[in-house]
Amino acid sequence: MSLQIQKPILVGGLVVAGLLSLDLLSHAASNGNALMLGTMAIGGGYWLWSKGRGAIAVQPIKIDPSTLTRLSEQVKLIADQLTIEGGNSASLRQSLVQALQEANRQHYRLVVTGAARVGKTSVIAALPATDFISVQPLELTETPALFEVDGAKVQIDQALQQADLVVFVTNGDLTATEFAHLSKLQQQVVVVLNKQDQLAPADRDAVYQNIQRTLAGITNQVVAIAAKPAPIKVRTIAASGDVQESIEQPPIEITPLTNSLRTVLAESGAQLVLNTTYWEVDRLKNSGKAQLNGLRRARALPIIEQRQWIAGATAFANPLPALDLLATATVNAQTIVDLSAIYQQPFSIELGQSAASAMGKLLLQLGLVEVATQAIGGILKTNAVTYVAGGLVQGMSAAYLTRIVGLTLMEYFADQDVVAAQSNPVWNSERFGTLLQQVFQANQRLTVMQEFVQQGIQRLMPDTKPQVS
């Protein structure tokens, strides 16, 4: 079957899908793979899509050794900071040493992945029999099947993270899900079209070329193999006219894969190991940062609690006549300064004051003061107390908004470098505004607010017995 791919793109894509459908019909039926035709059509669609967009920028980033060194320095800094702040940095340090030692290993880690029953195990079984493996030590691992409803997502991710090179196996048809998965891979990938023996010889080129084109922006390593071809029945008719049937085992076709592995590893094996190491150290950095932020959070929360009830009690005793005053009362420059110190972004009191006034304006602009006041008023009326003391809505709103601002500050600082690079950090009001809305929304659930109101009544009016409905 010869294909005219030079036609207008749209027609070309449909022709590919259409012609393949006919030829694959028998195989699709014998596999019980009713989706095959549909997915071929999708494959054609992707081709159009990738053509239209040019190359998809997912080629692995080239990490150079100095980038890795800089990242390692950051992890060390985080470990030092953990020690300073009373945390345990031993396991982070040890993991870093291990990760960097791994960078010198002499073998490559190949992880074979793909959907269920595409032939992952068969590929791994076929490889050791080749000459190539005897000269090039490889560690071959198979992930659990991708795309299963109750799939082992964690194990899959963990296995893939270890890979210097991913060998992605498919049956020769590329589904939308497979394509999406391939485009997200961090590593270089060799795509293996297995079970070539199931395709009519005339179709092989067409399927192969179509997939190669679809994946042009992702990898140039696409190989067609048969890791474990099915036995075939052969009929011979003797001169006498007697028909004889025998079962023959077609040979394994694995050479295209070994050739591809040889090329990729010779060209960029060292680079691939460097990349794996880089991403491993990057994960260490994130987990160290999370550990550090956990410590800081534990120190910041009591400060926020304390300040929220101070703001609440003040507004309760001296009810503020206007929303803008309420907004101002909830953002306290000293709280900003204190939290910034915990997160090693020390703000001067002047910077704290200007940030506080920006935050007050933001609370009003976003309508958060009004929303909070109304919600709290509503809760108080319906199910918290039998009567609403004057100023209680105001006091409670001041406490609530102080808390929201404090929680947002924690998120804001947690995002920054673990130790400020400069002595007077820059205040990014826009970033704060985005986080403020997120935190506000996350705390807006009725149950969260009701609980807060209950606490507030006990704090602000300790003699009142709240009536819980």
Ligand X SMILES: Nc1nc2c(ncn2[C@@H]2O[C@H](COP(=O)(O)OP(=O)(O)O)[C@@H](O)[C@H]2O)c(=O)[nH]1
Stretch that binds ligand X, among 8-16, 112-120, 301-309, 379-387 (CB under 6 A): 112-120
Q: How far is the CB of 139 from ligand X (least distance, A)?
A: 17
Does 416 sit near Mg ion (CB under 5 A)?
Answer: no
Does 200 sit near ligand X (CB under 6 A)?
Answer: no
- Smaller CB distance to ligand X: residue 112 or 410? 112
Q: How far is the CB of 121 from Mg ion (least distance, A)?
A: 3
Stretch that binds ligand X, among 120-128, 129-137, 386-394, 408-416 (CB under 6 A): 120-128
Stretch that binds ligand X, among 195-203, 323-331, 391-399, 408-416 (CB under 6 A): 195-203
Distance between CA atoms of residues 254 and 426, nearest Å? 58
DSSP notation for 269-329: HHHHHHHHHHHHHHHHHHHHHHHHHHHHHHHHHHHHHHHHHHHHHHHHHS--SSHHHHHHH
The option from ligand X, Mg ion, none interacting with 195 (CB < 5 to 8 A, set by class) reads: ligand X
Does 172 sit near ligand X (CB under 6 A)?
Answer: no
- Smaller CB distance to ligand X: residue 15 or 125? 125
Does 118 sit near ligand X (CB under 6 A)?
Answer: yes
Does 408 sit near ligand X (CB under 6 A)?
Answer: no
Contact 114, 120 (CB under 8 A): yes
Q: Alpha helix locations (H) across 166-254?
A: 176-184, 201-214
Q: 115-154 mask for Mg ion (x: CB under 5 A)?
A: -----xx---------------------------------
Phi-psi region of 215 (alpha: psi -120 to 50; beta: other; left: phi over 0): alpha
Backbone angles phi, psi at 165, to 5 degrees: -140, 135
Helix 368-379 and helix 392-414, axial crossing angle in degrees, nearest 10: 130
Does 194 sit near ligand X (CB under 6 A)?
Answer: yes
Query: Exposure string (b/e) for 29-41, b if CB count within 10 Å is 16 or more?
Result: eebeeeebbbbbb
Of 74, 83, 121, 287, the residue at the interface with ligand X (CB under 6 A) is: 121
Of 27, 181, 195, 296, the residue at the interface with ligand X (CB under 6 A) is: 195
Sheet with 188-193, edge to edge strand ranges: 138-142, 108-114, 165-170, 188-193, 222-224
Distance between CA atoms of residues 61 and 29, nearest Å? 41
The option from Mg ion, ligand X, none interacting with 118 (CB < 5 to 8 A, set by class) reads: ligand X
Stretch that binds ligand X, among 114-122, 263-271, 447-455, 461-469 (CB under 6 A): 114-122
The option from ligand X, Mg ion, none interacting with 288 (CB < 5 to 8 A, set by class) reads: none
Q: How far is the CB of 78 from ligand X (least distance, A)?
A: 40
- Unique residue bearing structure tokens 């006034």: 357
Residues 6 or more apart from 83 whose CB is under 8 A from it?
89
Distance between CA atoms of residues 57 and 177, nearest Å? 18
Distance between CA atoms of residues 181 and 146, nearest Å? 9
Of 43, 44, 229, 425, the residue at the interface with ligand X (CB under 6 A) is: 229
Q: How far is the CB of 276 from Mg ion (least distance, A)?
A: 23
Q: How far is the CB of 2 from ligand X (least distance, A)?
A: 25
The option from ligand X, Mg ion, none interacting with 227 (CB < 5 to 8 A, set by class) reads: ligand X
The option from Mg ion, ligand X, none interacting with 402 (CB < 5 to 8 A, set by class) reads: none
Q: Is 193 helix (H, G, I), strand (E, B) or coil?
A: strand
Total number of residues that touch ligand X (CB under 6 A): 18
Contact 436, 369 (CB under 8 A): no
Total number of residues that touch Mg ion (CB under 5 A): 2
Q: Show the 3-state SS of 135-176.
A: HCCEEEEECCCECCCCCCHHHHHHHHHCCCEEEEEECCCCCH
Q: How far is the CB of 258 from ligand X (least distance, A)?
A: 15
Of 39, 143, 170, 198, the residue at the interface with ligand X (CB under 6 A) is: 198
- Could you tell me the CA-to-CA distances from 326 to 162, 396, 397 in Å, in that order? 53, 11, 8
Q: 72-111 mask for ligand X (x: CB under 6 A)?
A: ----------------------------------------
Task: Return residues touching Mg ion (CB under 5 A).
Answer: 120-121
Task: Return residues touching ligand X (CB under 6 A).
Answer: 114, 116-122, 145, 194-195, 197-198, 226-230
